[in-house]
Amino acid sequence: MTLEAIEAGLGGCFERLPEEAAGGRELYRGKVRDVVRGEENLLLVASDRISAFDRVIAAVPFKGEVLARISAWWFERCADLVPNHLLGGGSPRELGGTGRATLVRRLDMIPLEVVVRGYLSGSAWRDYEAGRPVSGIEFPRGLARNEKFPVPLVTPTTKEEGGHDRPVSRAEILERGIVSEELWEKIERAAVALFRRGQELAARSGLILADTKYEFGLAEGRVFLGDELHSPDSSRYWWADSYQARFFAGEDQRELDKEPFRRWLSERGFCGDGPVPEIPAKVLVETALRYIQAYEAITGESFEPIGGDAQSETAALARIVRERLR
């Protein structure tokens, strides 16, 4: 996509699904996605909203479509490992008229964010540096920032109402009865298998999947993978070619995700509290470009939007709700 096309998209961001399009169904608004709930299914609508520090900050053109389609790409490629919530004909491409909708099986969600880490980075690094265990796991001393772990580690957090999730240990998960031991072990195995597949396919595209998070749920007594899969919003990707040199020099990794956007905010003193600063068009366009590049790097395909303007997409979404949502 050209820079001009992205700039032209600035005015037409899809900020939210209008209430009417839900056709009387229950509508849940998450930070980034609007979810229309049927009895058996859900329609996940990825908006163009961008969040940072658990706050919604702005709208980024094409972001919703990019994220919905990256997840769908991964769901297809990981379906043999763990059953997932994507329904037949429910991918953004198959639904048509909009690239941001995904039709999924409604799950009874397990209130955990199952974080898997291949590298010591982000909040895990901050905890480690401060001498705190990470989700109850004590790491050996002397590790460096962004160092690779010998094996991927599962460091779950609780999923709290209104954001600000909290690291939780395996012992606490079992004590509080969030899941049984048997179910937790199943989830851990599934998460590690997904992560290894993620790393393997990312590596073929010259990327490192440094960490990610999964959400699982139950249906018909079985565990399903829900939510999103290896999207840049739920994952940290680095470019592989510069990893070693930057690691040994103690420099930041080149990231594929919204870290530059977060950095722009924190350089202006915004860390989640107080009024959200006005984001200049230039920063929004650069952020959109990053998301599109992420799509292209991960899938190896050039990004051609399926969706149109917000009005035509709303009409398409209302039709999908009417005709497809059970």
Ligand X SMILES: Nc1ncnc2c1ncn2[C@@H]1O[C@H](COP(=O)(O)OP(=O)(O)O)[C@@H](O)[C@H]1O
Q: Rank residues 82 and 208 by Cβ distance to ligand X and give the closer one.
A: 82
Nearer of residues 69 and 106 to ligand X, judged by Cβ: 106
CB atoms within 10 A of CB 2: 7
Cβ nearer to ligand X, comparing 31 with 148: 31
Closest distance to ligand X from the beta carbon of 229 (Å)? 10
CB 236 within 8 A of CB 257: yes
- Across 75-113, b (16+ Cβ under 10 Å) vs e yields bebbeeebebbbbeebbbeebebbbbbbbbbbbeebebb
Residue 63 or 106 with smaller CB distance to ligand X: 106
CA distance 306 to 216: 28
Q: How many CB atoms lie within 10 A of CB 117?
A: 24
Q: Which is nearer to ligand X, 33 or 230 (CB)?
A: 33
CB of 251 to ligand X, least distance (A): 31
Minimum separation from the CB atom of position 40 to ligand X (A): 10
Tell me the closest approach of the beta carbon of residue 22 to ligand X, in angstroms: 14
H helix runs in 176-277, sequence order: 181-204, 243-248, 259-267
Of 90 and 125, nearer to ligand X (C-beta) is 90
Task: Report, in Å, the least distance between residue 105 CB and ligand X.
Answer: 6
The distance of closest approach from Cβ of residue 107 to ligand X in the complex, given in angstroms and rounded to an integer, is 4
280, two tokens: 């200049």
Sorted by sequence, the CB contacts under 8 Å of residue 249 that are 6+ apart come out as none
Q: Which is nearer to ligand X, 56 or 240 (CB)?
A: 56
Residue nearest to ligand X (CB): 30
Which positions touch ligand X (CB under 6 A)? 30-33, 35, 42, 85, 104-107, 109, 215, 217, 226-227
Q: Of 91, 88, 85, 89, which is closest to residue 104 (Cα–Cα)?
A: 85
First to last CA, the chain: 36
Dist. CA 194–CA 196, nearest whole Å: 6
Minimum gap (Å) between residue 280 Cβ and ligand X: 25
Specify the amino acid at residue 230: H
